[in-house]
Amino acid sequence: MASEGELACRLHDWVTNEMHFYPQGSHASIPKPEQLKLLCRGPCAPIWQWVIKHVRSTETVKTVTGNLALKNKSSSPQYRVNYGVGGEQFEETKCALLERRAALSGEVTTTLRDVGHFEHEVERITAEVTETENKYQQLKMSINTSRRKAALLTAYCARSADVTAQYGEYVKVINTRVQDIKQRAQKTLETEEFYSREVTQDEKEEEEQTSALETASAKHVRESCELIGQFLQDMLSGTFANDKSLINKHKEPLWQKVEHVCGTFSADQVMTGLLTYTSDTTSRLRTLTARVDIRRDAQALRFRYDGGEMKDLANQPSLYRSVHQLLQERNKEHFLSFIQCQKSQNDARNLEQSVAMVKSRIDKKLEKVFAQKAADLKLARTLADTEIEVDGHKAALHSLSTECESLKELVDRSARHRQELFTKYHRIQEFQEITDAKQGVIQVLVKQNMNAQSRLDQQLAEIGGYLERSFVSQPSHLTTTSGKLRDSVQREVDSFANLALPYIMFSQIDSALKTAVMDLSIHQLSPVHIRPALQTVLELLNFKTFQAPDALLCHCVRLKEEIGEVLRRLERESQHTRHRNMSGEEDVVTQIRDTCERARESDKRQITQMLPMLQQKVAKTTVALDNCNKTRDAANAWWREPGQSCVPWVKVDDRTLQQYMDQWTVLPRNYLLVYLLLEYHYEEDWNVCCISLFLNIYS
């Protein structure tokens, strides 16, 4: 069955295209499919489907009838054989046909009865299949619900197991921390470990102030702070080049180091170590800055100009000392690498022993599981060995990748260091050329300024004589000029105080011409107090000061258009007024007001006339519905007792039982539809048309 929307669209097409419906009122319009959905609900839907399918307009019927008549006229005449009334052959044929007709009638009756039984069986089987399908769907839904619950329960159990494992890990970590805290609390000052501090060349002068021994906590805190400082220095120098993965990779060991220090030592020890390291670093920085003396370094410079070259006579660093420092650094690196190698070998040996123990445990478990299956035991051992070997290769690959990346970083660092050395070397080589060029410039300036003092004295004497001669020759002119200049500064200051400075401030940004600073402002209309004329114009235009200056032109254009529109309306209205005055007509507003009053009175009058009629129709419809309900009850009672044994060919007043049932089914729907239409849409002409059409169809 079609949906309400589709049936409404079909009904709309049938009304407009087939029945050629046009609205009768001047303000009425053809209803839309959304409005016709009210007629296509409930029991009215089959009626409208039958109407749309079978009812056609008069023009369509005439066209179809004419086409059929034309087809009959244009077809060739049929060949017919006329038999004589008294012929024996005709009588024999007629008897045979009648016998054949009787036999066929019996067969048709039997077939119809069999078809009826078959339809009944099909309906019964269909009902059973439908019931079975419903039961199947219910069982399927219950099974799906059970499966969903089982899946949720499994996921919840897995989650609970994970949470339990996490809590177990938390308990282990907390117990470890508690044991560490207890051990730290049990340690005394005598059992605390001390380490010797490495003193660099810059710190040798501070050996008397700085202790050569440090505690384990201070040592680990100092190492952590140095690692963090080196990481921050690399960040500032751009070593990582905004590579987040590389930054996270370098931050991970720092966090591990900090967590190890915080977990191994108490808060007091960590705070003491931080204070000690801060104090040492501060004193070292203070000593280093105190050592910087530019004047002393400049005085220590000693150069000699010999043979066209500048030679440095300052004390050169001791070559023996530099080589000794390099050897010490290399020995230290070699020793640390040896210690790391031995540590790695010990770790590898421990891991090999652990792997051997794991293999033995796996073999024992496999022997227990596959005790009676030698082939499966062999395959399981091969699989376990292969998995262990693959894991080992993966770990080796990871270690090799890490080492390769560290070596790449070392190579890059060495390349950068080498490039810096080459740059410094080239700068040193270019320093001699720059020195020679500057020395030439200095010599030229010295030659030019050798007699500068004598020339300066001569020029001063000449200028003084000129001024003396000028003042003595024109005393009256000087007096007059000086009198005019009296209080001129005060007057100019007062003038500048009253002048808006943005008008006289200029800039030469990106141009050789002077540009006023006022023109460089983003909001050139602010401040408006500088230009009162502009403020007056903006107030008259109703343009707000906070709006953008770019919108001023659009605002003016819009005002111009509005003024033009108002002028056109006034001109048109004045023309209408002159025309009405010349013809003696009334004002349009008065006519419209009178028309509205008449329309309102007409609506009230129509409502007063229609309401009693509608109430009468509703009362009649209610009575008809009661009669239909009584008739339906009587028909149901008659069908339950004697009517159910009737057969289709039994007729009463030339009508079968099915025809009576169809008539009784249609009549209540007819009255119900008329009642709904009268009750819901009694004010529209379209509803009246639908009611009349429906009554004509089913009259």
Tell me if residue 310 falls in helix, strand or coil.
strand
* pLDDT, tens digit (0-9, with 9 covering 90-100), for 537-549: 888 888 887 777 7
pLDDT band at 28 (very low <50, low <70, confident <90, very high): low
* pLDDT, tens digit (0-9, with 9 covering 90-100), for 328-361: 888 888 888 888 888 888 888 888 888 888 888 8
Residue 331 tokens read as 């020995």
Alpha-carbon dihedral angle through residues 441, 446, 449, 454, given to the nearest 10 degrees: -170
Query: If you average pLDDT over every residue of the chain, what do you get?
Result: 76
- As a whole number of angstroms, the distance between CA 12 and CA 560 comes to 49
* pLDDT, tens digit (0-9, with 9 covering 90-100), for 303-316: 555 555 555 555 55
* pLDDT, tens digit (0-9, with 9 covering 90-100), for 29-74: 777 778 777 777 777 788 778 877 777 776 676 666 666 666 666 5
Residue 107 tokens read as 């067969």
Q: Is the pLDDT of residue 676 over 80?
A: no
Domains of the chain by residue range: 4-58, 96-186, 192-197+209-289, 343-447, 500-549, 611-697
pLDDT band at 79 (very low <50, low <70, confident <90, very high): very low
Lowest mean pLDDT among 73-82, 142-151, 340-349, 629-638: 73-82
* pLDDT, tens digit (0-9, with 9 covering 90-100), for 419-431: 888 888 887 777 7
| Contact criterion met (CB below 8 Å) for 36 and 8 | yes
Q: Which of 141-155, 282-296, 446-460 has the highest mean pLDDT?
A: 141-155
- DSSP lists the bridge partners of residue 562 as none
Compute the average pLDDT of residues 84-113: 79
Residue 108 tokens read as 């048709």
Q: Which residues of 564-601 are buried (b: 16+ CB within 10 A; e: fewer)?
A: eeeeeeeeeeeeeeeeeeeeeeeeeeeeeeeeeeeeee
Helix H segments across 292-373?
A: 294-300, 319-369
Give the distance from CA 36 to its chain's centroid. 42
Residue 263 tokens read as 């977990």
Q: Is the pLDDT of residue 386 over 70?
A: yes
